Amino acid sequence: MPKVKFTPQNKEIQVETGTNLLKAADQAGLYIEGDCAGRGTCGKCRVRITGDERAEPTTAEKKHLSEKDLDNGWVLACQRTLDRDIVVEVPIQKDAHLRKTTLAGGVEELTAEPMVEKIAVKLDRPAVKDQRADLERLLDNLERPDLDIELRELAGLPALLRKNSFAVTAAITGSRIISVEAGDTTDQIYGVAFDIGTTTIMGSLLDLKTASVVAVAATTNPQNAYGADVISRITHASESRENLKQLQDKVIEAANMLIKDLLKQTRVARDRVYEVTAVGNTTMSHLFMGIDPTYLAPAPFVPAYRRALEVEAARLGLRINPAGRVTFLPNIAGYVGSDTVGVILATDMDRRKDNCAAIDIGTNGELVLAANGRLMACSTAAGPAFEGAQIKHGMRAAGGALESCDYIDGEFKMGTIDDLPACGICGSGLIDAAAALLDAGLIEPSGRFVNPEENPEKVPEQFRERLRPGRNGFEFVLVSAGDSANGDDIVLTQGDLRELQLAKGAIYAGLMILLKEAELSEDQLDCILLAGAFGNYVRKESALTIGLLPQLPPEKIIAVGNAAGDGSKLALASKTVRERAMALPDRVEHLELSTRSDFQDIFIDAMAFQKPKS
Ligand code: FES
């Protein structure tokens, strides 16, 4: 059985002969970038095999890697199977979720109204004249004879009472005692709020007595190994029950890792965490709960369920108090999940009086419109371009990603995350780069690069070499090989612009359909809220320049941070908010864009890099 050693992570694993290298990395707990679930089409899973003679490159490797890369040992992990011991260098994805993490805790006001109630009691000791059973004695003292108790807690009750001089605390949810603890622990009530993103999972530990966030942690969703988008994961899950279980195990494992991290940061005991809330898109909620998502993929995109699901932590394998409850907030439709419910809660969309749109841009784009007392939502197949997928040098928002681009005094000024040498371009950088190239007149409104041979007057001398023919049309060199992290030019291709146009056109058209349905024009909008990490980092001016958003004054466009995750925290902290969440699937009118005959025309208009006609 061959051994693989991954550096610089220093992880080693022994696998069956013939195991795919991407899968081996996954087994070793390493995440390797990739958008195509190992189909060899994205070219992102680059790793370097050191000290080994070169194997014949596959067609996919020849397509995505240069001669120089191949000579230096670079391969695509998904194209390699293992038949001998090797050492593999994995480029470090420096804290891909870091920017998202910093958004955590953005909720200003959480209301402390926990589902769990704790009561400390000091019981009378049994005597010949008082032979009440231990449980009876406890319930009498709590003045709640109707309460039920977890069998596990009852099993340990006699010893617990006698070891602690009959002074204990009962943790009660609804009509059930879920935990009996030694002494007075009434000041220790904790819960974890998760935001299960397709790309990133975030967890926040809340002190439910004070409704304060005491720790946050985030990690990459390990399901990424099965594809960057939800369709790849649905496809994998639908192939067999084992695959579905595999995807569920991955996400539960990641959630447990985050819980461990949160507890370590705060020294809170695991048993004092009684509740978990989670939000995510509808596919993520199905996979988290281990429910078959197959019929979400084909029309008519039917989920197995929409309502909130509540299960005991132990049944899911989540390592909090075993009798703790896990609640995945409700979904609205197949492609409008509980993450949108979270956005609505955090932005008060269900209670606002103004006309307001919220756009959550992630791997998909979900839109909500509150107008004239109505609440409407839709999702657009915006594609993952805003997360750097399907973009030649696209990457997630990690160290070294080009995140800003300005056209000033005839020059382009680029900025990277953490000021590291550039190694790719993330979503906000992509929008900025397109806006800057439009400003410089190097992109036509149709989205085509100006042809320097046909229109030399439009291409200033200093850009003649940077705007060059590529495989499919022209491409612009954003960062030259000498300045980039991996010694390759970082380019923006015609294909990248096309992906951006598709994504921004879909968002814009979705919003226009919602407005049309509400009989509102775009200038009747009082505000547009941009949710999600991306919404926080995208520059409004650039989003307006490329026509991603309607032409409102920039001050009406407001970034609201990770609103989905904030909604999860709000629902965890307060049972009233949770009740509000439960009512939303029936309250929100879902618009299915694929059935709208007017969508296509608006979408095609909206793809252009100019203010689209509405
Ligand atoms: S090319 Fe390997 S994961 Fe996409």
Task: Give yes or no for residue 34 CB within 6 A of ligand 1.
Answer: yes
Does residue 363 surpass a pLDDT of 80? no
**Which CATH architecture fits 190-328?**
2-Layer Sandwich (3.30)
Contact 443, 500 (CB under 8 A): no
Residue of minimum CA distance from atom 1 in ligand 1? 40
Task: Give yes or no for residue 36 CB within 6 A of ligand 1.
Answer: yes
For the chain, the structural domain boundaries read 3-92, 116-182, 190-328, 352-383+502-606, 386-499
The residue among 290, 293, 214, 215 whose CA lies nearest residue 245 is 290
CA gap 271, 521 in Å, rounded:
53
Task: Give yes or no for residue 394 CB within 6 A of ligand 1.
Answer: no
Task: Give yes or no for residue 44 CB within 6 A of ligand 1.
Answer: yes
Does residue 536 surpass a pLDDT of 90? no
Distance 78 CA to ligand 1 centre (A): 6
Show Cβ contacts of residue 482 under 8 Å, excluding neighbours closer than 6 positions.
none
The Cα diameter of the chain in Å comes to 104
Burial 399-421 (b: 16+ CB within 10 A, else e): bbbbbbbbbeeeebebebbeeee
Give residue 108's pLDDT.
Answer: 54
Distance 415 CA to ligand 1 centre (A): 27
Mean pLDDT along residues 556-579: 94
Question: What percentage of the chain exceeds 70 in pLDDT?
Answer: 95
Counting Cα atoms < 13 Å in the Cβ hemisphere of 157 gives 21
Give tens-digit pLDDT for 375-396: 999 999 776 778 777 889 998 7
Q: Of all atoms in ligand 1, which is nearest to the CA of residue 76?
A: 2
Give residue 262's pLDDT.
Answer: 96
Task: Give yes or no for residue 45 CB within 6 A of ligand 1.
Answer: yes
> How confident is the prediction for the chain on average, in pLDDT?
90
SS3 491: strand
Task: Give yes or no for residue 440 CB within 6 A of ligand 1.
Answer: no
Output the six-digit token pair for 279: 């939000």
Contact 347, 106 (CB under 8 A): no
Band of pLDDT at residue 94, cut at 50, 70 and 90: very low
Band of pLDDT at residue 104, cut at 50, 70 and 90: very low
Give residue 611's pLDDT.
Answer: 56
Q: Of all atoms in ligand 1, which is nearest to the CA of residue 34?
A: 3
Domain 116-182 carries which CATH code? 3.10.20.880
CA gap 212, 208 in Å, rounded:
7
Task: Give yes or no for residue 65 CB within 6 A of ligand 1.
Answer: no
Amino acid occupying residue 119:
I
Lowest mean pLDDT among 296-305, 592-601, 605-614: 605-614
Band of pLDDT at residue 26, cut at 50, 70 and 90: confident
Does residue 51 surpass a pLDDT of 80? no
Domain 3-92 carries which CATH code? 3.10.20.30
Say if 3-92 and 116-182 have the same CATH topology. yes
CA gap 8, 96 in Å, rounded:
17
Is the pLDDT higher at 603 or at 23? 603
SS3 568: helix
Band of pLDDT at residue 266, cut at 50, 70 and 90: very high
Q: What are 359's strand-pairing partners?
A: 367, 530
CA gap 469, 410 in Å, rounded:
22
The residue among 202, 199, 155 whose CA lies nearest residue 177 is 155
Alpha-helix residue ranges (DSSP H) falling in 326-476: 338-347, 427-439
Task: Give yes or no for residue 42 CB within 6 A of ligand 1.
Answer: yes
**Which CATH architecture fits 352-383+502-606?**
2-Layer Sandwich (3.30)
Judge if pTM exceeds 0.85: no
